[in-house]
Structure 1
Amino acid sequence: MHPIQRLTDRKREAILVAAMAEFRARGFEATSMDRIAASADVSKRTVYNHFPSKDTLFAEILLQLWQHSAAQIELAYRSDRALREQLLDLMWQKMRLLDDAHFLDLARVAITETLRSPALAQELVAKLREREEGIAAWIRAALQDGRLKPLDPAFAANQLQGLLKSFAFWPQLTMGQPRLDAQQQEAAVASAVDMFLAYYGKDAGEGRLQGVS
């Protein structure tokens, strides 16, 4: 790769890192391109060369945020492992992401801004639909292996994740409630998995509905 291109990439990354910190600390409205440029140690012109507007820069940050969320949930389906064990691994990955203070702060800014700009929200959703989300891919593989009842993988994945988010994301994001402690996390993960398997699992022994594993 050409050295100038590498420098350009480094500057772009510095701008994104600085912008994330500014948006996280100040919110969208109070963050200016001047502050982002100063924080990234680049000229304001350089910022605009990479991102024509604050809206464009914010949209890129949101896209990276949600892509990061999807990338964190990766576990290849295995036909030789119990469904419950695999789903517990998947849900613990999701729980660790939802419990990350940095992720929560950026998600809070993201939701506030997408409410202000429905067009931005629609654009982000359209882009993210092009990516295959890890939990839906796992469910699809388990379905094809004949170990789940007929279902829509995307719908079922949203249901499963929603069971966690109702305890470990939305209360913290919208009502300022504290993050779950270790025992609460364990209960939320285990009960979500057991409820999912009790409804969709073909083998009654796959789900236990005991709350904590």
Structure 2
Amino acid sequence: MKSSHPKTPKRKASPKAEAILGGAMQEFMAHGYAAASMDQIAGAAGVSKPTLYNYFQDKESLFVALIEKLVEERFQDFFSPQQLQQPIPPGKGKIFLRQLATRIIENSVNDPQFLDFMRIIFGESGRFPELARTFVGTVKATAFESITQLFANCRELKVKDPEVAARIFVGTIVHYILTQKLLHGEDVLEMDHERLIEGLIDCLTEN
């Protein structure tokens, strides 16, 4: 698979592009990345193949557009620089982190489409590593960099290495979603998410 691909088309916000992305999501959910075809996607979207290829040159660029759309819709509200770079009132650092972690977990585990799409990315990562790298790179730009700045800017949190703290923060949340929901381990590794978050905040901010 080629490692270079076009960015999400500028026309992605148009009704036609949204219809294509909706049809693609439907087919990827039903068949997985490898088995879904551009013919099936065009049919599900209600567009002709020439129209489909006018917006997306191949299946990879279409899947990448879905990754970017997913991250934008699910993560942007949590990790937007405008939100995380706002000054945190004195004494509210731990409260802010706790609320942020809670919103991310609760919104993720209660969104079946998000969980199904994550399963596709994990399931296809061996055969299509560039898709997985695209997802990780998009999450890095959206989540890790913003959280790193949060730890660096909030003196109250007093972390020695903001980048490591960001990795621990996001990694713990991803691990929880992965084991509890994606791998159906709720009964095997049972853990209340509030208890997990409380322990995470204590570990990151303990002096």
Q: Which runs of 5+ in 1 are unaligned?
A: 203-213
Letter in 2 for 1:168: I
What residue in structure 1 maps to residue 133 of structure 2? 122
How far does the alpha carbon of each residue in 1:20-46 deviate from its partner, in whole angstroms, 9 at most, with x for none? 122122211221212211221111111
What residue in structure 2 maps to residue 56 of structure 1? 61
Contact 1:72 1:94 in 2 (8 A): no
What residue in structure 2 maps to residue 165 of structure 1? 174
Structure of higher CA gyration radius: 1
In the TM superposition, residue 78 of structure 1 has moved relative to its aligned partner by 0.8
How far does the alpha carbon of each residue in 1:95-127 deviate from its partner, in whole angstroms, 9 at most, with x for none? 123312211110111122232122333345445
Letter in 1 for 2:115: L
Identity of aligned residues (%): 28
**1:98 matches 2:108:** yes
Q: Which runs of 5+ in 2 are unaligned?
A: 1-9
SS at match of 1:176: coil
Shift of the 160–47 alpha-carbon distance from structure 1 to 2, 3 Å rule, reads: same
Whole-angstrom distance in 2 between the partners of 1:80 and 1:196: 17
Moved more, 66-75 or 41-50: 66-75
What residue in structure 2 maps to residue 20 of structure 1? 25
Whole-angstrom distance in 2 between the partners of 1:86 and 1:138: 10
Kindly report the root-mean-square deviation, in angstroms, between the aligned alpha carbons of the 2 structures: 2.9
What residue in structure 2 maps to residue 138 of structure 1? 150
Whole-angstrom distance in 2 between the partners of 1:162 and 1:8: 31
Whole-angstrom distance in 2 between the partners of 1:66 and 1:57: 14
TM-score normalized by structure 2? 0.76
In the TM superposition, residue 129 of structure 1 has moved relative to its aligned partner by 4.3
Contact 1:114 1:121 in 2 (8 A): yes
In the TM superposition, residue 155 of structure 1 has moved relative to its aligned partner by 2.2
Contact 2:90 2:156 in 1 (8 A): no
Whole-angstrom distance in 2 between the partners of 1:7 and 1:72: 19
**1:155 matches 2:164:** yes
Contact 2:159 2:165 in 1 (8 A): no
TM-score normalized by structure 1? 0.75
Letter in 2 for 1:38: G
Letter in 1 for 2:31: R
Letter in 2 for 1:79: P
